[in-house]
Each structure stands twice: as structure tokens, then as C-alpha cells.
Structure 1
Amino acid sequence: MTDADQARHDAVEAALGKLDLDTKARLLAGQDMWSLPAVPEIGLESLVMSDGPIGVRGVRWTADDPSIALPSPTALAAAWDPALARRAGRLLAQEARRKGVHVLLAPTVNLHRSPLGGRHFECYSEDPYLTGAIGSGYVKGVQDGGVGTTVKHFVGNDAETERFTVDSVIAPRPLRELYLAPFEAIVANAHPWGIMTAYNRVNGTTMTEHQYLVNDVLRGQWGFDGCNVSDWMAARSTTGDILGGLDVAMPGPQTVYGPPLAEAVRAGEVPESAVDEAVRNVLRLAARVGILEGAPAAVTGPPAEIDGQALAREIAARGFVLVRNEPVAGERRALPLDAAPGRTVALLGAAARDARVLGGGSATVFPERIVSPLDGLTAALPAGSLTFAVGADPSEELTPADKGFELRAICRNASGAVLGEGSLPTGQVQWIGDDLPAGASYETMASIEVTGTFVPRESGAHAFGTRGLGAFALAVGGETLWDGVQPMGDEADPFEAFFGAPSERGRVDLAEGEAVEVSLTFQVPDTTTLPLKAIMFSLLHLGPQRDADELIAEAVAAARAADTAVVVVATTERVESEGFDRQDLALPGRQDDLVRAVAAVNPNTVVVVNAGSPVELPWREEVAAVLLAWFPGQEGGAALADVLLGDAEPGGRLPTTWPARFADAPVTEVVPDGGRLEYREGLLIGYRAYEAHGIAPAFPFGHGLGYTDWAYESLEVTGTTARVRITNTGTRPGREVVQLYLAPVDTASDGAQSATVERPASWLAAFAGVEAGPGESVEAEIALPARAFEIWDEPAGRWQRIDGAYEVRASHAHGDTRLTATLEI
């Protein structure tokens, strides 16, 4: 223990000794949506928390306090670079300090068990080792800046359907070797100051009450000394939660802690020592972030200032994965684009203009700016060399009103008097906790009117609608389209209801350029008894839908006239978001038809896939190049221009396998049966399953081409250290990710590698990124961790090393082995 650690320990114990029972119980309950109460008598300031993984929203979920928006976590993981993740974390710590936030509710390290998972984009990988490595880098970076993290969602929250109540039934070995493994690695390598327990149950026990996984495993076996915070509204049992090791119940003030916890102690249901231990963990977190008087902060001087826009642009390019890049007409490869004077580009697809830069749900932030692909290429290409056509619009459902709308939200009391008002960037009202306009309060508000003008960009039938629960009145141009009540459905999850399906309420014929008044009035329900004080509803809009065949024909004409066609295809907010899972992996709308039609007239067709998780690409062998751009963050369009024009290399490697078709995915069912979701596939998720079942994916785990070529020249293994020598045989500098996979050698005859031990055919053991210029050679020295040779022995309750012979495979991707060697353990 260092002197600073001892000083923090002493300050925590001194502060704890001054607190009475009621104050201790109050300290464990959120005082509002995002913070814990201050306790001035011990010099404790209010501890403030905020989402999320790719930007720091702050305590207000509104556009008047913008946040940097980094690429999605899957995009960050695609760089296969823990050091880059650490830099991202440092930037987010910088943002957190600017917004007065002490703890970031991130990272999300659940696994890509199924591509259907609604928050797939918010997680890193299908592989536990890669997830743990990137998550460790991220946590280190955030905490380098003196800001805490809460690694989430511990554990088994790998899908959204019925997430509040589902029982994830996971056998001991998959639980340890897959789903707990990233958390364990991050605790060991990055020492996070917090963790977040999930809504769901695991093997029958709610995670906030799971004494075995929290008290015995997380704290006892792994030595975690941080603060355990509930997911929002996950805490449901005063006694069960405190005995299960939950330190903080969020949000407040209506929680199972506070007065109910003090009463449980007085009634003899809970020992006060359990409360003391939880308070100790909270005070230790407060000390680390520098808000407990007399305790030295863990970081006394923040890192140097970081250029957020530049780093966001770099991360995007580093995470882009070039999965296909073929020569055109036997000549140069499609990418990077030919920069010869006079060359023309047709940019096609609605997502090229209306960029999808982040996923939906609590990970959403409001960036100060968004650079679309159209913006990025317009700025980078010579004037007159770029044309644009929509081609096929995947947005077939209503979305929050935005383009052409100027809206305000007006809060009134029961007599109609205005309490407060503010501008809205879109028709989405998403006020949580203290996000309300100045002057408004939950206790006094009776109604909220979203009102303003709409200037249509095109003539025709415009659809208007609502999303949310409660009583609404919708009017356009003085005409009432709907006046009624949207009741609560079967969802136990209020976020699922809010992020769920929209409702069309009427259509109005409008003329291009002619302004019309729009109004949506929402009757505010009684929120005083709700555990979550929030107002969430939306005014929705969908413009006139032009004939899809006409749009595709216009795109084909543009593609035929251009040297290169760049088609941007994308998912929508109704496909990837918190609150629900996907139904399939198809691109929405007529986007597949668009790609095929364009490729038929222009052999130099490049497709950019703007999706946070795998989608089917049935035309992938009909186009010259395919670039996976994920949700690329606010600078995505600028990064795309860098990569397409060759100013930056697409540095990504796949962190998850892309199936050729939905039916090939290892797990295609995420809907619980009778409240239970059984992980029947055991250890076989991701690339492990494809190999076991002999199924060829569209693009394998670890795949990514970059802009240069590499020759793997030698592999030497000494003990458990591998040395791989490779040479850049291309004409450009580049970065290669050397991936080491282990495969057991069949030596059952001498007793080692017993056939009774079930293991995947191969698994990722370690990796390293190396850089070299044209013609240069470089050696990667990679240590194989002890855990790579172990399995969880449930009867013995410990990790067991499996001795014997292993083949070490130095690979460019899973299944693309370049060199092999054998080692004996």
C-alpha cells in the first residue's frame, strides 16, 4: 500500500466513523437521477455519474450541452489496440471533468453472443480476451484522468428482450471462460473503481442480489475493491441487495435504500456491518475521484489536453475494416480511390447525407457537429467531381422530427401558465432527472407542448406521429390529427417502451417551402411515486415516400456516368438500439436492390456499411470493395474521406464474425422462453462455433485488409513467449495485427490433452499490433497468458491448467494461419 493509498484508507475510515445510520443509508441511495448526496459534515461532495461509452452526456440529456461523440465501442475494438482505447478513455475523462462528472457509466463488456442483440454496437467483441484487453485500456484511460468507471453489465445481460426479468441460464464453464472473463481481466489489469450490476438474473438469482458472483467471485476471488452500482432501477430488494453486495441503488430518491435500508437494520433484517461495508466502498470511490476532504485524489494532475475532434477522426479510420478490395478490370485495386485529375465519384445512399454516427439508447449523446460522408467527400474532392443521389432510403418508419422543423418545448401548470421553455433540436423530448427547462418541475408541470413551424423540403403527403406513453394531442396546420391515450404495453422496461415502435397518427398534404404550424401536447402524469423521474416522448415525422424504383434509377444513372460509385448502406434507429433486439440481419428497405443495380452498371463500385453490428451482404462478391464503417462517431465522414482517398489506412480487423446469412449465426434466438434464456451453445459462440460446425462466414473474426501486404517469415516459441517476424511487402506504410491462436494437439494416447476435456478447436490467446514501412521487417514479441491454457474446473472450484502439446498459430485472421509452431505445457 502506497502512502497515498494509506492516506485515503485513513480518511475513509475516519469519515465512516462520523456517520449515523440514517446518513449512511441515505448515502447509498441516489439523491436524483445521476448523483449521490453530499455530506458536508465529513467533507464529502456530491458524487456525479453519467453515461456513456462513446461520449459524456452529463447530467442533462439535451443538445444545449453538447458532447464529443466517438465511434461505437465495436469500432474502437476493431482497431485491436488497447493503447488507442486508453487514449479514448483519457479524452472521455477530459470531457467528464469539463461537465463536472466524477464517474462514467462505462465500458460495456458483455459479449457479442448473438448478432441480434440490440446493444451489440455498444459492446466490444465476441471474444473474451479481446474484450478484456480493449476494456482494460479504456478503463485505464478514463481513470488516468481521475474519473471513475463502472464496468458493465455484470453479468449475462447479452440481449435486450425482457432484460429486467430474464433468467440467463449459463453453465459454469461458459460463465467463467466467456462471460465473466472480460470482467475478471479488467479487474486484474486495470483495477476499475466501479462496476455495474445488471437487471437480469443469472441461474435463478437477480444480479443485484447475487452473493456468489458479487461477494464471493468479484470481491473475494478477484479482489475487486471498488463500488458496485446498480443499473438504473435494477435494485428491487432492500435486504437482498445489501446482502448481495450492492453498494449503491440508482436512481433516487425513490429507491430500496435510504430510509427502507435504515429501517431494515433497526428491524434486525440487515446487520449494520453490511451497510458500513457499502458506505466504505462509496467513500473509497469518492476519495479516488477527489471529493472527500482529507483524502488525496488518485490523480492529482490530469493528462495533457487532447484534441477531441482529431482523436475521434483517428479512431474512426483506425476502426474501419476493409473486408474486400478487388482489382477493377485487372488493374489497380478499388481502394484507395484513383486520384488522377478528372476522375469522378457518384456518392449514393440516404445514409451518405443523413449519417448514422451512433447507436440508440442510453449511449446517445448530442455532438456539437456531425460530418456526414457527403460533407467529408465534398470537402476533400475537387469541385465538380462529386455527385449525390439518395438511391434508396432505408427510413420507412417515422423518426423524431428534425430537418425543416424549428421547435420549442413549453411547460405549463394546471392553469395553463408557462413554467419554463426551451428549444429542441429534434422532436424528441428526453428529460431525465434534472433535464427540465429552468422554472419547470415534476411537481408543478401539467402539460408539455412541443410547438413550432415546419418547412417541407418536398411536396406531398407528410406523415406525423408520436412515440411514448400517455395522453397526447397532435395538430398540424390547425387540424387535429389525433387526441388520445397511448397505454403501457407488456413491457416491464420503460426504456423498451420509449425506444419501441412509433405510431402514425395522420397524414397531411404539404407544399415544398410553405411553412406550417405543428403542435404536440403531452399531459404529464403523476411522477411523484415513480422510481424514475423522466419525461420521454417524441413528435415524429416521415416525408413523402418517392417511388423506390425511381430513386434507384436516378442512382444508377449517376453511377453509370461516374468513374467510381460509392454506395453507403445503413441500419436505422429501429434496427439497432437499447430497449429491443433485432429480428434479422437484413438491411432495411431496398438497399440491397440499390447495390446490385449500381454494381451492374459500374464495376468500380465501393460499398460503405454504416452499421454497428453484422448485416447480411448478399451482393458482397458483386462489388469491387466493401468497407465496414460501423457507427463512426461525429467525425465519421471526415475519416471516410481520409480512408477512401488514401490519406489514412483502414486499420481495423473484425472483432466479431460476420455471417454469410442469418441462419449461419451461432445464436439466432434471444427471446426468453417462460422467462428463461438458456445459453445452450455453451462455449461455442462466434468464431469458435463456425469452426466447430464447419460453416464458412462471409468475413472471419480478425479479418481486415488494410492498404499494404504482409509476409509472415518466422515464428519462434520459447516457453510461453512467441516471436513473430513479418515484412511489409507492399508500397505503403501500414499496421498489421498479429493474432496468436492456440489449438490443442491430439495427444490423448499419453494422457495429456485428455479427450474427456471439451474445448473449442482453437481460440485467441494473444495479439500485437506492429507497424512498418514498405520493405521493412518487424518482430512482434507476444506473451501467451497462463489463462489461455486453463479451463474452469467446476467440481474443484478452480482454474485447471491442461498440460500437453499446443499448436501456436500466427494468423492474419481466424482461419488464415500463416505460420505454426508447437509448444509443450
Structure 2
Amino acid sequence: MSPRERAEQLVEAMTLEQKIAQLHGAMETIDIYSALAETDLEELTDQFQVERHVAAIEELGIPRFRITNGPVGVGRGDGMPSPRATSLPMTIALAAGFDVELARRYGDVIGSETATLGQHVLEGPGVCLHRTTIAGRNFEYFSEDPYLSGSMGVAVTRAIQAHDVIAMGKHYVVNDQEYERFRVDIEVDEHVLRELYLLPFEMLVKDAGVAAIMSAYNRVRGVYATEYRHTLTDILRTEWGFEGYVQSDFWSCRSCAPAINAGLDHEMPDAKWLNETNVKAALQDTSLEIETVDRALVRRFTQMFRFGQFERPYAPGEIDARAHGAVSREIGSQIAVLLKNDRAVLPLDKDAGAIALIGQSAFVDEACLGGGGSSKVDPLYTVTPLDGMRDVLRDLESSATVTKVTVADDLSNLDDAKRAAETADVVVLMAGLIATEGADQRDPNMLNDQNRMLDELLGINPATVVVLKDSNPVLMPWIDKAPAVLEAWNQGAEDGHVVADLLFGVVNPSGKVPTTYPRVEDDTLYAGRPERYPGTVEEAGYPVIRYSEGLEMGYRWFQAQGIEPLFGFGFGLSYTTFEIADVSVSAPDGANAPVTVTASVTNTGPVSGAEVVQVYLGVPEAGQPPKRLVAFQKVFVEPGASESVTITVDPMATNHPFGVWDYTAQSFVTKPGEYTIYIGNSADNTPHTTLLIVAERIG
């Protein structure tokens, strides 16, 4: 039988009570809102992590259904204590790699470890967009661009599910901020929803066959996301053909019959709403039909049968920590972004003499794991900055020595750091930001007055490098004083090794900025516009956020408004230089024909490295931003060599590269007109352009 046929027969054999028991998680029901008022989210998830599952029904052969968080590694999982796993770089960092193969390897580690630990579901990837730079959960999401986010998310999803683990795309949809996430209403135009915020989810469904979707906390157009039929059924299932199941985010379910009728299939982590009392009452008053209950169960059981989870015994094994750590180190070295490198300060000489590491404890004492909240990984091991640098220098047979000064969070010992900077041969300043689920940042500045710390330490020693360890873009008022700046991100367990590899040129940085860095907060789309963020309280009594900027979000905002960012989308330097030349565009007649872009990439510098060829499209339609990313390809090139690149932009692709949402057709339509194809190495550096005449196409 097919997985669906098996699921249907199983549901047919179940009693009503058994069916209801499978609609929800097994955690003891609590008042989440009161609990959050009394404690923080991390303490709460620590308290209840043992019960991230659906209870087994042994007489029917239904196993305990084990669920773990995990956009950035296997996070809070079923079992006490929560399983330990490889702490990987944050998802925003992975997106900076602009490399779907890196994403595949990342997902492969996560899928492998989830299976090894006996878990059935990995709650990830997260593909909401970075609408603001201060959103607390941006570290779990890829970028501000829907195509980049979708491409990386598809690769991660396929790799996870290759291990017979259910991947769960989240948080569906427009959960792009943490502020008042349990109450806030998002008002967004349909074309904006379709062309930006739904697009990565559409790619997960159509291109990766994602088995599950997690519904968000927030309201959408006045209706809770867990009850919004337009997104849960009309779009997700009827239009996209999704065959998996929809799970609530933890405690995002707000009703019984309305939620199941709209398309929600599974409540987590408890039975606050989909319990026996509510379900039986709804069946009795016919606000809910038994066939709808059966539908919800068939959807989830089908995916469990699809991945052989009924037959698989629970036999958790041991993760190969060193092997997976080595993969994490390789990935980490390919995603760091070299933001500035005046006078070729980097890479550092391995025999640089006395090296001083200086920074606050979170960034200089321990590996920067990042990821506060339910996705936090309990690491199998970590490599501190000091140990990592000493390891790499030893491998390089270096004569250099390394010391560390930990600056107090209140900067009370800043004078000690200044003296260390004066006497060292090389100074490495480490600073950054660790964001967390459940709270947005107050502003894009690093915490604990780190901007003042850097401002006072820069300029003391000309051989000074700033290493940023961020989970969001940050403001850099001290940037003009810094000779070199490397964005290393929250790297996870291998932090110490990765940063040292990059600083000493063992690896050449090749990451690109996945989300625009503003010069000042006033340049952002929400500055002076509280209706855009954090929202305004209106007659209904809950906060309302209006996406009134429309399609002008991320680099689209900066370009449409003529604002020069500090570091734009797609930007990233290297220890070598590249030339993109011999660019040509082949566009056969016909609106459905793929467009082929070819180019040569020459390494004109002294060391091997990688460049990312980026293709953008200018759409000749009123209200469209200047450019949208439609393709990219990372290419590794040896010094003095050239590599050819061929990139195909398919108008029929799931991301609708040429399409705009048409309200009359209720579909994506390629409008007739003169399109501009831009080729370069960032959104703001596309020197190669080609005009393309396109006929109309619907679909």
C-alpha cells in the first residue's frame, strides 16, 4: 500500500479517544501566557523539554512521536536531558555562503544527528524574511531575500529528509518579528505576501517536498495564523499541492473547530484546545466533522509512513562529534564575510609576535553558540577563541604567542585592555550580538556599550582587526577607525578554529552579506513609522503592524529610496581579487524559454578564493523595486586562472523570477515589456546589463 493508504487504514481502526489523543502533544497543559509573565522562554523550554512528543499507542503500533527543534542544529528535543548535538553556525550565517551545496551539507549534519538521536521531526528550516534588522529570530532565518532564503531552505530540507526525518518549514507566515508575537496582527497586501513572504515556503513545498509546515503565532489580517484558511488551505494545499501536515508553533493554537477546519492538523506541545472535551463538544454541535479530524490524522500519519517511522525502533546512537565538527568548521570558514581590509591587514602573518585577543566574555572567552530560545543546541563540545587560535598557530608552526583580556560588560577594566593593545604586536578585537527568540532588539546596536569599547580601543595599535560575531546586522559608528572588519557570525562549536583559520589565511573568506547593514537606524524602513514596527494599538485592542512599505524591503528598500547602506546585500571582500568578464545573455524567443547567462571569473590576485556571480532582474511594472535576485553561483578559482560560469534563469521556476502577482488573474503573470538583467557580485555592483523583451505569460 501507499503511505496514504496505510494512514487511512490506521485511522479507520482507531477509536474516537485514540484519534483525539493523536491530535496533540503530550506535555502537561499550562497557561503559557501566565508562565511567560513569571519566567523567561529559555527556562520554560528547559522545564518542559522532556515532553516534546506525541504519546504512543502500543496496541495500534503507533510509536512515541519525537519532535526536536533545530534550524541551527538539533535543539530542544524529546528526552531528559535534551539530546546533545553539533552546534552549527546560525542560519543567517549559512545564507552568507550563497552556496546551496553548503546548505546541503548543513542539512545533512542536522538530518543525520536527528535520526541518530531517535527523533522523528526536525522543526526547521525557518524561512521567514529579515524585514527588520532587529528581529530576535533572524538568526534562525536565512536572509532578507525570498529567493536566497528559498534556495538555501530547499537544500537544507532535502538533506534532512534524506535521513527519513520530517523537516518542518516555519513559521507560516509573516512571523517576521518577536514583539507581541502572540497577539500582533500583520496587515499585508496580497501581492506583497505572494512575491516576498510566501515565496520561500512555496519553494519548500514545490521544490523540496517538505513534509510539514509550522503555523505561526501571529494574526494575519485579523485572523490567527492557525485559523487562517486562506494560507493554510487555499494557498498551501489547493494552489501549491502540499500533501504534508501543519503543526502549530508551541501554544499558537487558539481554538478547536476553527483551527482544524482551517487546515491545522496537529497541536503542540499540549492539549489546551484539541482535547477530548473540546473535540467531542465540537463534534456534538457539528461545528466540527469527524471526517475533518480523520483528515488531520491521515495527513500526519502519511508522512510518518513515507519515512518509515512506524517500522523504525527507538535505538538512539552516538553522534560522531569530531567528524560533524569538522564539517561545521568547513562550512563556517566559507560563510564569514570580509567587510573591510584596508592596507591588506588581513590575513595576519603567522609569526606576528604577541597577539592580544580583547573583548567581552560572550565573544572572547567561550565559543559563540548564539541562538537563544527553543532552538538552542546543547553542544557536544566547543572550541574557545584562545584555544582555537593556539591550535591553528601550532599547526602553522608559528612562533607567535596569544594572550587574552576579557573586558567587563560595564567596561570597568577598559584601561587594562588599552594597555594590552599598546604592548601587543597584533590586536584582535572581538565583539558582537547574540539575539534570542521571544524578544526583538531595542535597536541595531551591540549590547553592553561595545561600540564605545571598540571606539576607544581602535587607533591605539595600527595592526588591529575587528572580528564581529553577530546574529543580526549591527551598526558600526566606529567603522572608519577600523583597518579590517571580519563578520564571523555566531559560529557555534568550532568558533575558535574557524576565526583563526580566517585570520591567518588558512582559508580565504568568501561570504556575502545576506541582509543589508544600514549606516544608521534612520535609514531603515521602520524608522519614524511605528505603524510598520512595532505597530499601533487600534480599536480591536491588539497591536497591528502594517507592511505599508510594500515590496520595498531589504535591499529593495535601500535601492528604491536611494539610500546608500553601510554594506549592501551580496557584498563581500576576499584576500584576492576577481574580474567578471565575457558576460553574455542568451534568451530564445518565447516567454517560457529559459534565459542563460554565461560569464568568466578570473582570479587576478595572489591566492585561491571564491566569488559569487549574482544575477538580478529589473521588472518593468509599476510598484516594483529596481532589482530582484533571480540567480547566483559560487565559483572557486585558483590564482591567475579563469573559470566559466553558466547560470539558467527559468521563467517557469517555482520562484517566479519574471512574475508579479496579478489580482485579476489571481496568479503570477509575466508582464510584457523590457526587462533588465543585471550581472555582478552584489546588489549594488552589477556592471553588466542586458535588455530583454518579454511577452506576457500567466502562471
> 2:534 maps to what in 1?
671
CA change 1:62–1:277 in 2 (3 A) is closer
Is 1:325 matched with 2:341? yes
The letter of the residue matching 2:380 is E
The partner residue of 2:358 within 342, 348, 359 is 348
Q: Deviations over 1:590-618 (max 9, x none)?
A: 42233233322212211011111011111
2:379 counterpart residue number: 367
The equivalences for 1:372-451 within 5 A come to 372-381=384-393, 382=398, 385-390=401-406, 392-393=407-408, 395-396=409-410
The 5 Å alignment of 1:719-730 reads 719=587, 720-730=595-605
Tell me, yes or no, if the aligned pair for 1:599 and 1:605 is still in contact at 8 Å: yes
The alpha-carbon deviation at position 258 of structure 1 amounts to 4.1
TM-score, normalization: structure 2?
0.88
C-alpha spacing 1:91/1:306, structure 2 compared with 1 (3 Å):
farther
Aligned to 2:2: 7
1:303-350: CA deviation from partner (whole Å, max 9, x where unpaired): 9999211011112211111011111xxxxx1111022x4533221112
Aligned with 1:600: secondary structure?
Answer: coil
* 1:73 aligned residue: 91
For residues 137 and 321 of structure 2, what CA distance do their matches in structure 1 show? 31
Residue type at the aligned position of 1:734: G
Give 1:400's aligned residue: none
Matches within 5 A, 1:174-323: 174-292=192-310, 307-323=323-339
Greater strand fraction, Structure 1 or Structure 2: 1
- TM-score normalised by the chain length of structure 1: 0.75
Q: Percent identity?
A: 35
Cα distance in 2 between the residues matched to 1:342 and 1:197: 52
Tell me the equivalent position of 1:692: 560
Aligned counterparts of 1:617 and 1:342: Cα–Cα separation in 2 = 27
1:721-765 per-position Cα deviation (integer Å, ceiling 9, x unaligned)? 111211111121111111001124xxxxxxxx45xx220011111
Q: 2:347 aligns with which of 329, 336, 342?
A: 336
Where does 1:484-633 land on structure 2 (aligned, <5 Å)?
A: 548=412, 551-572=413-434, 576-633=435-492
Task: Give the count of matched residue pairs.
Answer: 641
Contact 2:369 2:492 in 1 (8 A): yes
Q: Which residue of 2 aligns with 1:660?
A: 519
Q: CA deviation at 1:805?
A: 1.7
8 Å Cα contact 2:179-2:439 kept in structure 1: yes
- The Cα shift of 1:559 comes to 1.8
Deviation readout 1:368-426 (Å, 9 max, x if unpaired):
22212222113233466222222x43x35xxxxxxxxxxxxxxxxxxxxxxxxxxxxxx
Structure with greater Cα Rg:
1
- Give the Å deviation of 1:60: 5.3
**Deviation string, structure 1 residues 493-545 (Cα, Å, up to 9, x no partner):** xxxxxxxxxxxxxxxxxxxxxxxxxxxxxxxxxxxxxxxxxxxxxxxxxxxxx
Match of 1:811 among 675, 680, 696: 680
Q: Are 1:87 and 2:112 matched, yes or no?
A: no
Contact 1:717 1:823 in 2 (8 A): no
Given residue 570 of structure 1, which amino acid in structure 2 is its aligned partner? G
* Partner Cα separation in structure 1 for residue 82 and residue 633 of structure 2: 41
CA contact (8 A) 1:812 1:818 kept: no
RMSD: 2.1
Are the counterparts in 2 of residues 26 and 259 from structure 1 also a CA contact under 8 Å?
A: no
- Aligned partner (choices 190, 203, 209) of residue 172 of structure 1: 190
Could you tell me whether the CA contact under 8 Å between 2:227 and 2:264 is conserved in 1?
yes
**Contact 2:90 / 2:489 at 8 angstroms: preserved in 1?**
yes
Conserved? CA contact 1:61–1:365, under 8 Å:
no
Give the match for residue 40 of structure 1. 58
Distance 1:76 1:667 in 2: 26
Structure 2 partner of 1:791: 660
Tell me, yes or no, if structure 1 residue 762 matches structure 2 residue 621: no
What is the SS of the residue equivalent to 1:48?
strand
Q: Is the 1:86–1:141 contact (alpha carbons within 8 Å) kept by the matching residues of 2?
A: yes
Structure 1 position 20 matched with structure 2 position 11: no
Alpha-carbon contact 2:613-2:680 (below 8 Å) kept:
yes
CA distance in 1, matches of 2:59, 2:419: 73
Letter in 2 for 1:230: S
Deviation track 1:692-733 (CA, whole Å, cap 9, x = no partner) reads: 111111111001112221111111111211112111111211
For 2:352 and 2:341, the matched residues in 1 are separated by 23
Q: Using the TM superposition, give the Cα deviation of residue 201 of structure 1 relative to its aligned residue in structure 2, in angstroms.
A: 0.8
Gaps of 5+ in 1: 1-5, 298-302, 328-332, 397-546, 745-752
CA contact (8 A) 2:76 2:374 kept: no
Which residue identity does 1:22 align to in structure 2? E
Q: Which runs of 5+ in 2 are unaligned?
A: 28-50, 314-318, 538-542, 588-594, 695-699
Matched, 1:736 2:622: no
C-alpha distance in 2 between matches for 1:371 and 1:13: 49
Q: Contact conserved, 2:367 with 2:494, CA < 8 A, in 1?
A: no
Q: Post-superposition shift, 1:259?
A: 4.2
